[in-house]
Amino acid sequence: ILIESNVRQRNEKLKTLLSSSDDIKNDLKKLKTNLDTANNKIKSSEPISCNENLHGHVKKIGQLKQIGNQVKLYEEKIEKIRQMVNNLFQCSDLDLITDDDNENGQIFRKNVYAIYNETILIRK
C-alpha cells in the first residue's frame, strides 16, 4: 500500500511537470508569434532614408535572431524534459520503491530532481 501511495504521488508530480512544460511551450509559441509579427513589420517598413534608421533596423533584426535562437534552445530543453518524464513513466512498479537503500529508488529520485531542476531553469 505504501509503495502504491508513493507511486501515485510520483505520478502526480510528473504530471505537474509535464503540464508546466506545456505551459512553457505555449509561452514560447506566443513569443514566436510576436517575433514573426515584429519581423514582418520590420520587413514591410518604409524605405530607409538615413544611416541612423538602418542601424536601428539592423540592431532589431539581430535581436530578433537572438531571441529566435533562444526559442529553439528552450524547445530542445522542453523536448529533453518530455523524454525524461516519458522514461520515468516506463519504469516498472518495482523500480518506484522508495527505500533509501534501494538503488532503483535512488535513480528514480535523481531523475525526478533532474527534471524538476531543468523545468525551473527554463522558467527563469
Query: Structural domain boundaries of the chain?
Result: 2-123
Region of poorest pLDDT, from 21-30, 31-40, 47-56 = 47-56
Average pLDDT over residues 49-56: 62
pTM above 0.85, yes or no: no
What is the tens place of the pLDDT at every residue in 56-103?
677 777 888 888 888 888 888 777 777 777 776 665 554 444 555 555
Percent helix, strand, coil in the chain, to 5, is 85, 0, 15
Q: What is the chain's mean pLDDT, rounded?
A: 70
- Give the pLDDT confidence score for residue 36 in this predicted structure: 81
Whole-number Å distance between alpha carbons of 106 and 91: 13
- Give the pLDDT confidence score for residue 89 in this predicted structure: 61
Banded pLDDT at 6 (limits 50, 70, 90): confident
The residue that leads in pLDDT, 47 or 110, is: 110
Tracing cell 544611416 back to the chain, one arrives at 51
User: Could you tell me the three cell numbers for 97?
Assistant: 520503491
Has residue 26 got a pLDDT over 60? yes
Tracing cell 512498479 back to the chain, one arrives at 93
Has residue 51 got a pLDDT over 70? no
User: Could you tell me the three cell numbers for 89?
Assistant: 513513466
Banded pLDDT at 40 (limits 50, 70, 90): confident
